[in-house]
Amino acid sequence: MCAADTAYDSNGLRQFLVNRGTLPVIPNNPTRKQRHPFDPVAYKQRNLIERMFCRLKDFRRIATRYDKLAVNFAAAVTLAAIVIWWT
C-alpha cells in the first residue's frame, strides 16, 4: 500500500504502483474527470505516520542529522522515540 497526497494523483504514478504490485491509496484530484477507487480509512492511517515524523523532528539532533554514522543516528532516533512514547 502506498498512501500519497492529492498532488501525486496521476495516471502514470498509479500505473507504476499497480505494475509493482502496490495498492495506491491516493485521493482523487478535484479536477479529475475519471475517478479511481479510494479507501479513506487507509488514507487516515497516513496521518499517524506524518505526525510521528513531525514529533521526531522536534528533536534538533534528528532534524539536522548531526551524526555522521548511521548507527549513531539510529540510536538517536531510538532514544527520541522512547522519550516520545514515555511522555
What is the residue-level pLDDT of the chain in tens, covering all 87 positions? 888 888 888 889 989 999 999 989 888 888 888 888 888 888 888 888 888 888 888 888 888 888 888 998 899 899 999 998 887
Residues 44 and 3 in one domain: yes
Number of domains in the chain: 2
Domain with 51 in it: 1-56
Residues 49 and 72 in one domain: no
Residues 29 and 63 in one domain: no
Residues 19 and 42 in one domain: yes
Q: Which residues contact 61 (CB under 8 A, 6 or more apart)?
A: 67, 76, 80
H or E segment to which residue 23 belongs: none
Residues 37 and 72 in one domain: no
Residues 45 and 77 in one domain: no
